[in-house]
Amino acid sequence: MARSMSLAGRLRPCDVVVLDNLSAHQRPAVETLIRSRKAHLLFLLPDRSDFNPIEACWLRVKTRLWAIGTRIHAALIQAMREALSTVRPEDAVAWFSCCGYPSQSS
């Protein structure tokens, strides 16, 4: 719940939160938090990794983590920051496009 509170604190009205169908994402408290910030909630299609841009994102992050090769907890936290920093907004747009989701400009 702490992570969801962190996200909820950053949401602005009309933001869109896109979630996969992980059971933790489907808890009523998640929707309540997102909607309380006047943001929108969108679930991706279940069981279709080829239509899930989140899979492409995590593939990039995991590939970077494997390349760094850290196994010590403190160093792993920094490695995760570094790996996540390789994901740019334009990457997210491209991943959604490759999965067949239209962009705002479409």
51, HSE (Cβ side, Cα atoms, 13 Å): 10
Length of the chain: 106
pLDDT of 106 over the 50 cut: no
Token reading at 77: 């936290």
Domain that holds residue 54: 50-98
In a domain, 106, yes or no: no
pLDDT digits (tens, 9 = 90+) for 52-72: 788 888 899 999 999 988 888
Q: Are residues 6 and 26 in the same domain?
A: yes
Bridge partners (DSSP) of residue 59 are: none
39, HSE (Cβ side, Cα atoms, 13 Å): 18
In a domain, 28, yes or no: yes
Q: Are residues 34 and 59 in the same domain?
A: no
pLDDT digits (tens, 9 = 90+) for 7-45: 777 899 999 888 888 888 889 998 999 999 999 998 887
Number of domains present in the structure of the chain: 2
In a domain, 103, yes or no: no
Q: Are residues 39 and 57 in the same domain?
A: no
Indicate the average pLDDT of the chain: 84
pLDDT digits (tens, 9 = 90+) for 80-93: 999 999 999 999 88
